[in-house]
A and B are shown apart, each in its own frame.
Chain A
Amino acid sequence: MFNSAMKKHFTLTIRTVFQSYGVLAFSPHPVPAAFVLLATFYYPMIGLMGLVGNLISNLVAKWMHANDEAWKAGIFGVSGILVGLALGKYADPSLRMWIFLIVGAGISGVASIMLANFLAKYDLPILSLPFMMVIWLLLLSLGITEESVFKHTAIPFLNKVDIALFEWLPYQLFEFIKMFGSILFQDNLLSGVLVIIAIALYSRLSLIYGLWGGFLGMLTYVFLHGSIDGFHGLNFVLISLGFGGFFIVGNRHGFSLVTLAIITVGLVDASMTTLLTPINLPPLVFAFNVVTILFLFPLKMLPQTVSPLRLIPIPLYLIKNPETNLKWYKRWSGQTTRQKTILTVPFMGEWSVLQGNNGEWTHKGVGKYAWDFVVRDVRGHQSKGFGAELSDYYAWELPVLSPAPGTIYSVENSVEDNHPQTANTERNWGNYVIINHGNGEFSELSHFKQGSIIVYPGQQVNRGDILGHCGNSGRSPVPHIHYQLQSSPGIGAPTIPATFAEVTINRDIHINEIPQKGDLVSAVTMDEISTWSLLGKETESWVFQTKIGWRKSTETLTFSTDEFGLPAIVSRSNHLWRIIDLPNFIIIRPDFKTFPSLLTSSVWIHIVGDRLVLPKYLADGFSWNSGRISRNESNWLIETEGRKIHLTDDGVIEKATIIEKPNIQFILKDRIVKKQ
């Protein structure tokens, strides 16, 4: 009797098991997964063993509280499948072997989750490392018979086809195609064809990389061994698929890296074969795993600076097929600023920066883009009296807020608070909250008071919602808030350069600013006198009379939305500006495709420039670090970063000028309200 919850659970598990087959060929999608699954059933018994291993491994991972998203991606089943397939190939079919399989798959489930949790910190994939950890144990204790594969019966018809093809095709081509099946430890042509189809279905780029990997791998093998005899190319295929636009962006530098990696794999595999043959142990996918980690780790540890990198590792949770990865990269690198999350400070009132970016104590290396905030009184002290008690500190128990909207990703709430001036270096992060902002960026806030966190994983939070209360847990000698923006959800993951979108620093309002050590920092709170905003004007177009030098023209700005449904301004349909909505300001930014050129007659391009900052509230005399508002007779004047914007009372741009370019005119001519 299935109830609906069990049914849902069952369907999910089936999907995950299925997905695991796709992951095996770097094609995590149900359709290619089906082909990979078929490819393992050349020997039905071995295929079944793979399936059983998969199921067990996945279930064990689930049972051990695997991260839901990672589990659904199917990465925990990969090693289970491989254990099944490898045992099929290298062990005698017997009851004893089945028991080994069940136990082995279980252990590989545990190893998978262990490695996943460990490597998450570095945003590294677990690959088939768990399989490598388990299979040698199993084979060494079970005893290897090289020929055991022949004790399984292939599907007779397929076997015949295979033999026929073997005789018909040139030997090298046969080996070449077979090589793709060997990633599943299959030694027949049909499995190879199925895997090639799976890869081709998932991504044409992957296919090209795979073929290149196979070709170069064969050459390498021949060079190292003198002939093609005994060729096993699984590592070549895997490494070329992995680095071919999957783990790193497939640009020309990526291609060079793949090539280098393929040759390295050849070397590692050749040496491992020499090393392991005396003890009768197959090197399997050792070379692929080692070389992948070797090449990927340094790239993942690179600081994410604003200047574009040549070799760009793709955050694991963002990986799709190489084509999509490339698109992602183009969009990402084209933005003038990488940071997508609109951050406001995670506290109420005025706090002081104890340690800023690149701080002297702990904000170093991959963790350098972080801040520590404390509260100081008028004399600069963090506590009353001698600060012997936690409750003497002003920051103690103050509310800690969500710096941007998002979903709570993880929470630690059980670390004890330290006495003042002592620190817990075993659990550095203390009590923390990680927020997924849903755009590839994550906020990490640390050192909450034990038990004070009131949000739970999966909960949606808004900007300014209380997450918990400031404490002194973890590596924290005095109560403070640690904040960082990071590119992946693991605790201690590499930080990314971040600015606060609007922030008051030393009593002045700044836009997109990085507070420095010693700065007094608070949120921007405006007493709204009169609200104005370009947002929500989707029904309007404004026609302007423009002039650059002698060129007179008209330009129409239309308020619209971009492909994500976010507000944008469109001019002549080929220029687009995004309206970035901060709590108290808006920033108008050109899309990365919008550039001024000689042929463009758009004047608005010049007026916006790289960005145009406008306040949302109109109040006479209000000012921020790069602009101010004043009230004229009948309209408002916003002076912002060298531009002067005149507004009518109902918020229509009447006139815009650039101080440095007096020959530019931009004057409202007409206002068109579209009919709904």
Chain B
Amino acid sequence: MTEKRIYTKPTIIRHTVGVMNKYGRPPATVPMNRLVGYEVKELAAKYGSPLFVLNVQELREKYRDMTRAFKTRYPKAHIAYSYKTNYMKAVCSILHQEGAWAEVVSGFEYDIAKNLNVDGTKIIFNGPYKTRDELIRAFTEGSMVNIDNYDEMQLIEDIAEEMDKVLEVGIRVNMDLNNPPWHKFGFNMEAGHAFEAVKRAQASGKLKVVGLHIHAGTYIDDVSIYSKAAQGLVDFYTYIKAQLGVNLKYWDMGGGYASHNTLNWAWAPAEQTCPTYDQYAETICPILMNGPFSANNAPKLFIEPGRALVDEPISLITSVAAQKRLPSGARGIVLDAGMNILSSVQWYSYNFQTGQDSGFMVEDTVIYGGLCMNIDVLRQSASVPPVRRGDLLVIPHVGAYNISQSWQFIYLRPAVIAIDGGEIHVIKKAETREYVQEFEDVPDKFK
């Protein structure tokens, strides 16, 4: 019996084979029939589509690789995983198993960390909005709190007075690194606000500054920004040490490390532009090591990667709901996953790879999400081979933000599975209507 060959519906399209742009040939498509050793088709059949798939081994390796890169250059470096990128319990748990500390930016995230039995002393509490109760809890449990603004400082001073002890705090600083500059978080260094903040905290007699935090931005593939930030921290520490006698217990380089996903406005694919962990570490650590201390008394260094750890180990399996010709002649396909579970499409040009054997003739295709909204376009133009309704597409590197920022809207959110050493674990079940409506109520008189 001969195998059934794949049929492509006849269309007249302009052939572009052989035409190269300045970066080379147009991308060829590589089918991704298997994920972590499992047939994509089987996974979708068993756990439904769409489906998030976590490669546990890859996640662990990423963590260890990043640790190696930083610790071989700054022995007291610690990774504090940025919860907001993906705070699924299993993901955080795996990283804590590896030794990661937690970086949380809200009371909700703080609670998640505590629920995972993370010791309070291994939680860094950042973010521009922390409530009084959350702060009291954080200080009681020994967490590191980085102050974002004067109102918060005032609040913490009050708490210190209430607790009747001197509280150790970190100060969040910012400086001109990007264009436009990130001035939202913390106190500005160039304008002298940061120095004033440290001075005020020290002078209050209720706070003791033991940490500095800087966050250079997000998805920074230009390492020179980190070298500026690191130098900024060193200069600032040197200054406050001399002027105010501050002795740091830790400094924190924040997050922003890039992953292998091409930005919408990028000219070259991420594989060529995304720095390695070693490159980030080589940029940051030697500068910090030159800080105002002897080699053995270096403050702890925190880095807060999120995207750089969890983006790549997670893929999304989705299936084609329909395909159509647009009036422009371009092909369009509609997927069963929308931007409600792929919010990062506003930043990323994801790759769409077929989950089964396909023809070779790729065609620029508009990829629509399944939401009933005109804006739900997953990619304006992707090279996709011929697919039919029910065919599977795999979108790699979707681990960061998509799950934590997903929204409900008109569909139920899909399941997340973790594959580890030949075993499949459902780490989040697909949602049900009952679950979504659990807290709703219709008073009797409305019935």
In the assembled complex, which residues on chain A have CB atoms less than 8 Å from the CB atom of B69?
A: 394
Q: Quick check: A466 and B68 within 8 Å, CB to CB?
A: no
Main secondary structure of the interface of A (DSSP, over half): loop
Q: Does A538 contact B (CB under 8 A)?
A: no
Task: Please provide the chain A residues from 460 to 483 with a CB less than 8 Å away from any CB of chain B in the complex.
Answer: 462-466
In the assembled complex, which residues on chain B have CB atoms less than 8 Å from the CB atom of A464?
A: 294-296
Task: Please provide the chain B residues from 60 to 113 with a CB less than 8 Å away from any CB of chain A in the complex.
Answer: 60-61, 64-65, 68-76
In the assembled complex, which residues on chain A have CB atoms less than 8 Å from the CB atom of B336?
A: none
Stretch at the interface among A522-530, A550-558, A596-604: A522-530
| Residue among A347, A348, A350 having the largest count of chain B Cβ atoms under 10 Å | A348
Chain A residue at minimum C-beta to C-beta distance from B72: A349
CA gap between A312 and B276 in the complex, in Å: 54
Chain A residues within 8 Å of chain B by Cβ, number: 26
Q: Quick check: A375 and B296 within 8 Å, CB to CB?
A: no
Q: Give chain B nearest CB distance to A384 CB in angstroms.
A: 8
Chain B residue at minimum C-beta to C-beta distance from A528: B249
Q: Does A583 contact B (CB under 8 A)?
A: yes
CA gap between A334 and B69 in the complex, in Å: 44
Q: Quick check: B282 and A397 within 8 Å, CB to CB?
A: yes
In the assembled complex, which residues on chain A have CB atoms less than 8 Å from the CB atom of B75?
A: 348-349, 522-523, 525
| Residue among B68, B71, B72, B294 having the largest count of chain A Cβ atoms under 10 Å | B72
Q: Give chain A nearest CB distance to B303 CB in angstroms.
A: 14
In the assembled complex, which residues on chain A have CB atoms less than 8 Å from the CB atom of B300?
A: 527
Q: Quick check: B65 and A401 within 8 Å, CB to CB?
A: no
Q: Quick check: A522 and B61 within 8 Å, CB to CB?
A: no
Q: Quick check: A394 and B278 within 8 Å, CB to CB?
A: yes
Chain A 382-400 per-residue mask, 1 if CB under 8 angstroms from chain B, else 0: 0010000000001001110
Q: Quick check: A399 and B73 within 8 Å, CB to CB?
A: yes
Chain B 109-121 per-residue mask, 1 if CB under 8 angstroms from chain A, else 0: 0000000000001
Q: Does A378 contact B (CB under 8 A)?
A: yes
Q: Does B289 contact A (CB under 8 A)?
A: yes
Task: Please provide the chain B residues from 292 to 316 with a CB less than 8 Å away from any CB of chain A in the complex.
Answer: 294-296, 300
CA gap between A348 and B68 in the complex, in Å: 10
Say whether, besides A462-B294, A463-B296, A527-B300, A379 and B71 are in contact (CB < 8 Å). Answer: no
Partner pick for A462 among B64, B71, B295, CB 8 A cutoff: B295
CA gap between A525 and B289 in the complex, in Å: 16
Say whether, besides A349-B68, A378-B65, A398 and B73 are in contact (CB < 8 Å). Answer: yes
CA gap between A398 and B73 in the complex, in Å: 7
Q: Does A377 contact B (CB under 8 A)?
A: yes
Q: Quick check: B74 and A348 within 8 Å, CB to CB?
A: yes
Q: Give chain B nearest CB distance to A94 CB in angstroms.
A: 65
Q: Does B286 contact A (CB under 8 A)?
A: yes
Say whether, besides A378-B61, A399-B286, A462-B295, A394 and B68 are in contact (CB < 8 Å). Answer: yes
Chain A 495-530 per-residue mask, 1 if CB under 8 angstroms from chain B, else 0: 000000000000000000000000000110101010
Q: Quick check: A350 and B72 within 8 Å, CB to CB?
A: yes
Q: Give chain A nearest CB distance to B63 CB in angstroms.
A: 9
Q: Give chain A nearest CB distance to B227 CB in angstroms.
A: 16
Q: Give chain B nearest CB distance to A136 CB in angstroms.
A: 55
Partner pick for B296 among A349, A384, A398, A583, CB 8 A cutoff: A583
CA gap between A394 and B289 in the complex, in Å: 19
In the assembled complex, which residues on chain B have CB atoms less than 8 Å from the CB atom of A375?
A: 68, 72
Partner pick for B68 among A350, A399, A465, A523, CB 8 A cutoff: A350
Say whether, besides A348-B72, A349-B75, A350-B71, A377 and B65 are in contact (CB < 8 Å). Answer: yes
In the assembled complex, which residues on chain A have CB atoms less than 8 Å from the CB atom of B64?
A: 377-378
Main secondary structure of the interface of B (DSSP, over half): helix
Say whether, besides A378-B61, A378-B65, A394 and B296 are in contact (CB < 8 Å). Answer: no
Chain A residue at minimum C-beta to C-beta distance from B290: A466
Chain B 317-351 per-residue mask, 1 if CB under 8 angstroms from chain A, else 0: 00000000000000000000000000000000000
CA gap between A466 and B290 in the complex, in Å: 10
Q: Does A544 contact B (CB under 8 A)?
A: no
Say whether, besides A462-B294, A465-B295, A583-B296, A348 and B71 are in contact (CB < 8 Å). Answer: yes
Q: Does A351 contact B (CB under 8 A)?
A: yes
Q: Give chain B nearest CB distance to A239 CB in angstroms.
A: 50
Q: Give chain B nearest CB distance to A616 CB in angstroms.
A: 12
In the assembled complex, which residues on chain A have CB atoms less than 8 Å from the CB atom of B296?
A: 462-464, 583
Chain B residue at minimum C-beta to C-beta distance from A396: B278
Q: Give chain A nearest CB distance to B221 CB in angstroms.
A: 18
Chain B residue at minimum C-beta to C-beta distance from A526: B76
Chain A residue at minimum C-beta to C-beta distance from B61: A378
In the assembled complex, which residues on chain A have CB atoms less than 8 Å from the CB atom of B65?
A: 377-378
Chain A residue at minimum C-beta to C-beta distance from B282: A397
Q: Give chain A nearest CB distance to B132 CB in angstroms.
A: 27
CA gap between A465 and B289 in the complex, in Å: 10
Chain B 261-305 per-residue mask, 1 if CB under 8 angstroms from chain A, else 0: 000000000000000101000100010010000111000100000
Q: Give chain A nearest CB distance to B71 CB in angstroms.
A: 3
Q: Give chain A nearest CB distance to B175 CB in angstroms.
A: 26
CA gap between A348 and B289 in the complex, in Å: 11
| Residue among A347, A398, A523 having the largest count of chain B Cβ atoms under 10 Å | A398
Partner pick for A347 among B60, B72, B295, CB 8 A cutoff: B72
Chain B residue at minimum C-beta to C-beta distance from A379: B61
Q: Give chain A nearest CB distance to B411 CB in angstroms.
A: 37
Q: Give chain A nearest CB distance to B408 CB in angstroms.
A: 38
Say whether, besides A462-B294, A464-B296, A398 and B61 are in contact (CB < 8 Å). Answer: no
Q: Give chain A nearest CB distance to B211 CB in angstroms.
A: 13
Q: Quick check: A351 and B289 within 8 Å, CB to CB?
A: no
Partner pick for B71 among A349, A378, A463, A529, CB 8 A cutoff: A349
In the assembled complex, which residues on chain A have CB atoms less than 8 Å from the CB atom of B71?
A: 348-350, 522
Task: Please provide the chain A residues from 322 to 371 with a CB less than 8 Å away from any CB of chain B in the complex.
Answer: 347-351
Q: Give chain B nearest CB distance to A220 CB in angstroms.
A: 60
In the assembled complex, which residues on chain A have CB atoms less than 8 Å from the CB atom of B294?
A: 462, 464
Q: Give chain B nearest CB distance to A118 CB in angstroms.
A: 37
In the assembled complex, which residues on chain B have CB atoms less than 8 Å from the CB atom of A398?
A: 72-73
Partner pick for A351 among B72, B121, B295, CB 8 A cutoff: B72
In the assembled complex, which residues on chain A have CB atoms less than 8 Å from the CB atom of B61?
A: 378-379
CA gap between A513 and B68 in the complex, in Å: 23
Q: Give chain A nearest CB distance to B90 CB in angstroms.
A: 20
| Residue among B69, B76, B295 having the largest count of chain A Cβ atoms under 10 Å | B295
In the assembled complex, which residues on chain A have CB atoms less than 8 Å from the CB atom of B282?
A: 397
Q: Give chain B nearest CB distance to A382 CB in angstroms.
A: 12
Chain A residue at minimum C-beta to C-beta distance from B300: A527
CA gap between A522 and B278 in the complex, in Å: 18
In the assembled complex, which residues on chain B have CB atoms less than 8 Å from the CB atom of A379?
A: 61
Q: Give chain B nearest CB distance to A138 CB in angstroms.
A: 55
CA gap between A463 and B72 in the complex, in Å: 16
CA gap between A601 and B276 in the complex, in Å: 64
Chain B residue at minimum C-beta to C-beta distance from A399: B73
Chain B 162-205 per-residue mask, 1 if CB under 8 angstroms from chain A, else 0: 00000000000000000000000000000000000000000000
In the assembled complex, which residues on chain B have CB atoms less than 8 Å from the CB atom of A525?
A: 75-76
Partner pick for A377 among B68, B76, B121, B289, CB 8 A cutoff: B68
In the assembled complex, which residues on chain A have CB atoms less than 8 Å from the CB atom of B289?
A: 399, 466
Q: Quick check: A349 and B73 within 8 Å, CB to CB?
A: yes
CA gap between A398 and B69 in the complex, in Å: 10
Chain A residue at minimum C-beta to C-beta distance from B77: A349
In the assembled complex, which residues on chain B have CB atoms less than 8 Å from the CB atom of A348?
A: 71-75
Chain A 425-436 per-residue mask, 1 if CB under 8 angstroms from chain B, else 0: 000000000000
Chain A residue at minimum C-beta to C-beta distance from B64: A378
Q: Which 5 A-B pairs have the closest CB atoms?
A: A349-B72, A349-B71, A464-B295, A348-B75, A378-B61
- Chain A positions within 8 Å of B, measured between CB atoms, are 347-351, 375, 377-379, 384, 394, 397-399, 401, 462-466, 522-523, 525, 527, 529, 583
Sample of 19 A–B contacts (CB below 8 Å)? A348-B72, A348-B73, A349-B68, A349-B75, A375-B68, A378-B60, A378-B64, A379-B61, A397-B282, A398-B73, A401-B295, A462-B295, A463-B296, A465-B295, A466-B289, A522-B75, A525-B75, A525-B76, A529-B121
Interface contacts beyond A375-B72, A378-B60, A527-B300: sample of 6 additional A-B pairs, CB < 8 Å, sorted by A = A348-B73, A349-B71, A398-B72, A398-B73, A399-B286, A399-B289
